[in-house]
Amino acid sequence: MPLLLKKKTVLPGFGLTLGFSVVYLSLLVLIPLAVLVMKAMGLTWEQFWTTVTRPQVVASYKLSFGAALIAALLNVVFGLLVAWVLVRYRFPGRKIIDALVDLPFALPTAVAGIALTALYGPKGWIGQWLEPLGIKAVFTPLGVVIALTFISLPFVVRTVQPVLEDLGKEVEEAAASLGASRMAIFRRVIFPEIWPALLTGFALAFARAVGEYGSVVFISGNLPMKTQITPLLIMGQLEQFKYAEATAIAVVMLVASFVLLLAINLLQRWTTRRMAM
Amino acid sequence: MRSPILILALGLLATAAAAADSVTLLNASYDPTREFYVEFNAAFAAKWKAEHGQELKVKQAHGGSGKQARAVIDGLPADIVTLALAYDIDAIAEKAKLLPADWQKRLPHNSSPYTSTIVFLVRKGNPKGIKDWDDLIKPGVSVITPNPKTSGGARWNYLAAWGYALRAHGNDEAKAKAFVSALYKNVAVLDSGARGATTTFVQRGIGDVLISWENEAFLAITEFGKDDVAIVAPSVSILAEPPVAVIDKVAAKRGTTAIAQAYLEYLYSEQGQELAAKHHFRPRLESVAEKHAADFPTIEMFTIDAVFGGWAKAQPTHFGDGGIFDQIYQP
């Protein structure tokens, strides 16, 4: 390893930039995470295990990870569509729609939660039409999915958009002139190109959605075993001044998210390599 | 070379001189007291100026009661805390040792200069005919109350229901548990805080009845008008005692012990009590309470100490991990 580091690179400033990156990442990410793990270590293994496996907590993992997964998948499909429309077509108001995509980033999440709850509630603009159909959007897991889909939309659009823009129309035209059907063009020409970006967008959207608190607590109703997300249970522990228990649940969330993101990363590498062949 | 130490010393002197005729206090409080303390702070500052010739500025921090307590534990330099429940100040004493464990004995009436209770808020004309706790467990009645795991106010609501059930069923714990379980079966949404629950009920139009702080219910009526919602007083409820305390170590460090103490004592004075009553907190002072008796509904009240043996016992039994609140939601 030391040999590897000593090897001269062509680009100057490696030592300085790496040093800076490590310090920066340590201050912002690693040290806070270390404190988190240290706080959780105030518990014995048995206490840790009972805290993170209580029925309420397990039910919340299912909801938090399940709803985040659904939201990220929805955004892969519809986010791709939005990115496609914004890149491929020119129409009046395109710039405005393009700017709208970023709004979920800018909006304080509590505001988003309150607005969505008002909209999908039994008296809301959308909710009043769903109610007669027997669809309850607020205070159900569906509400959680709605909120998470909203806040994680920009990730897929913004990661796929630049790739689509770089994708020359000529390649498609060449494929078409060689007799490929539209479906085949999408499957064999476009899709392999945008697939890595799509996966990245999915991973970012998922990660963002799993940790979301502000907007969800308004629309979910927070019923134990039914619509409590994991971050709410962490708040519940803090409310009892149980810092160690709160961090224990947080550590489980963190590890699960990390494993999932790592898996997505590996999948991305593996598929890209396979498609390149 | 001019000594930097000299400059520093001069600077310190200047600060000390400034401190002599102006002083600040930080009062960390919970959500529904916002309007009350704005007026109270102005009154106290005027009094302090008249008596001591010193300019006083009271800064306020509001938030969920538990959140405020955690902020003080983590180092928020509050000279005074005025929170929703003694449990939160107990936590400051226990975790950060910023004040003695017996802080609640230092001021009269369990260090609670004003009280409140838990009442119901119903829709115009009370269409579901809600009069007392028993009506809340009837099928088809939708109840709104915040989540006791995340809200201090919600814990008072829960304990009020439990205390009523104990009384109605001859102190039978099992029957009280069944009653509270039935009540929470009717709860459609458990907001994370008391303000959120009020919004859900009044503005979202969800639910038939909101279980609420009395002062918050009065505030909702002044805010949204008598035409939309009305207060229903149950036959029995809990005496909610929001306590106050000087954070000894912070005040000692900032040299504000005397003024912080005077601030809290002023809460017990006639003027302080009048202001509390004006903002729908029940005054403790006999003379002021009598004067405002007509402003508050007559409710028979029990204390948390008498029925539950205090917060130290009630909290883990009912709201801890695997406690009764957890049990009533387990299949």
- What is the tens place of the pLDDT at every residue in A197-243? 999 999 999 999 999 999 999 999 999 999 999 999 999 999 888 99
Query: Could you tell me which residue, B4 or A145, shows the higher pLDDT?
Result: A145
Is there a contact between B113 and B268 (Cβ–Cβ < 8 Å)?
yes
The alpha carbon of residue A246 is apart from the nearest alpha carbon of chain B, in Å, by 12
Is B320's CB within 8 Å of A54's CB? no
Instruction: Quote the tokens at residue B245.
Output: 């305390």
pLDDT of residue B196: 87
Name which of A241, A243, A249 to mutate to probe chain B: the one with the most chain B Cβ atoms within 10 A of its Cβ.
Answer: A241
In whole angstroms, what separates CA A150 from the centre of its chain? 11
- Helix, strand or coil for residue B23? strand
* Highest-pLDDT range among A172-176, A272-276, B222-226: A172-176
Is A240's CB within 8 Å of B326's CB? no
A40-93: pLDDT as tens digits: 888 999 999 999 999 999 999 999 999 999 999 999 999 999 999 999 889 999
**What ipTM goes with this model?**
0.80
**Of the partner residues A118, A121, A217, the one whose CB lies closest to the CB of residue B192:** A217
Residue A56 with chain B: CB contacts under 8 Å: 326, 329-330
Inform me whether the C-beta atom of residue A240 falls under 8 Å from chain B C-beta atoms.
Answer: yes
Residues 6+ apart with CB under 8 A from B160: B117, B118, B211, B234, B237, B238
**Residue B184: closest CA among chain A residues belongs to which residue?**
A223
Rounded mean pLDDT of chain B? 91
Helices (H), chain B: 4-21, 34-52, 65-73, 86-91, 108-111, 152-168, 173-185, 194-202, 214-224, 248-254, 257-268, 270-278, 286-291, 304-308, 311-314, 324-328
Residue A121 with chain B: CB contacts under 8 Å: 204-206
Rounded mean pLDDT of chain A? 90
A125: burial class by Cβ within 10 Å (0-12, 13-18, 19+)? exposed
Inform me whether the C-beta atom of residue B148 falls under 8 Å from chain A C-beta atoms.
Answer: no
Q: Tell me how many degrees the CA angle B165-B166-B170 measures, rounded to the nearest 5.
A: 115
Inform me whether the C-beta atom of residue A113 falls under 8 Å from chain B C-beta atoms.
Answer: no
Is B191's CB within 8 Å of A56's CB? no
Residue B2's pLDDT band (cuts 50, 70, 90)? very low
Is B149's CB within 8 Å of A236's CB? yes
Instruction: Quote the tokens at residue A109.
Output: 């999440």
**Residue B151: closest CA among chain A residues belongs to which residue?**
A239
pLDDT of residue A180: 86
Residue A1's pLDDT band (cuts 50, 70, 90)? very low
Q: What is the DSSP string of A128-164?
A: HHHGGGT---TTSHHHHHHHHHHHHHHHHHHHHHHHH
Q: Is the pLDDT of residue A167 over 90?
A: no
pLDDT of residue A232: 94
**Of the partner residues B69, B190, B204, the one whose CB lies closest to the CB of residue A118:** B204
**Of the partner residues B188, B204, B319, the one whose CB lies closest to the CB of residue A117:** B204
What Å distances lie between residue B53 and B45, B47, B240, B262, B263, CA to CA? 10, 9, 37, 15, 16
pTM of the complete model beyond 0.90: no
B50-70: pLDDT as tens digits: 999 999 999 999 988 999 999
Inform me whether the C-beta atom of residue A217 falls under 8 Å from chain B C-beta atoms.
Answer: yes
Residue A8's pLDDT band (cuts 50, 70, 90)? low
Is A235's CB within 8 Å of B329's CB? no
Percentage of residues in chain B having pLDDT higher than 70 = 94
Instruction: Quote the tokens at residue B20.
Output: 């002599």
* CA atoms within 13 Å, Cβ hemisphere of A150: 27
The alpha carbon of residue A223 is apart from the nearest alpha carbon of chain B, in Å, by 6
A244-256: pLDDT as tens digits: 999 999 999 999 9
Report the phi/psi class of residue B172: left, alpha or beta, with left for phi > 0 and alpha for psi in -120 to 50. Answer: beta
**Residue B150: closest CA among chain A residues belongs to which residue?**
A236
Residue A119 with chain B: CB contacts under 8 Å: none
Residue B226's pLDDT band (cuts 50, 70, 90)? confident
Distance between CA atoms of residues A80 and A87, nearest Å: 10
The alpha carbon of residue A102 is apart from the nearest alpha carbon of chain B, in Å, by 27
pLDDT of residue A145: 97
**Residue A121: closest CA among chain B residues belongs to which residue?**
B204
**Residue B207: closest CA among chain A residues belongs to which residue?**
A122
Q: Is the pLDDT of residue A131 over 90?
A: no
Is A217's CB within 8 Å of B322's CB? no
Residue B192 with chain A: CB contacts under 8 Å: 217, 222, 232, 235
Distance between CA atoms of residues B289 and B282, nearest Å: 7
Between A and B, how many residue pairs show a Cβ–Cβ distance under 8 A?
A: 78
Single out the residue of B215, B210, B223 nearest to residue B242, CA to CA.
Answer: B215
**Residue A51: closest CA among chain B residues belongs to which residue?**
B321
Is there a contact between B133 and B120 (Cβ–Cβ < 8 Å)?
no
The alpha carbon of residue B66 is apart from the nearest alpha carbon of chain A, in Å, by 5
In whole angstroms, what separates CA A222 from the centre of its chain? 21
- Helix, strand or coil for residue A180? coil
- Helix, strand or coil for residue A93? coil
Query: Could you tell me which residue, A7 or A268, shows the higher pLDDT?
Result: A268
Name which of B73, B98, B149, B202 to mutate to probe chain A: the one with the most chain A Cβ atoms within 10 A of its Cβ.
Answer: B149
Inform me whether the C-beta atom of residue B311 falls under 8 Å from chain A C-beta atoms.
Answer: no
Distance between CA atoms of residues B78 and B253, nearest Å: 11
The full set of domains in chain B, from first to last, is 4-112+241-294 (3.40.190.10), 116-240+299-328 (3.40.190.10)
B104-149: pLDDT as tens digits: 999 999 999 999 999 999 999 999 999 999 999 999 999 999 999 9
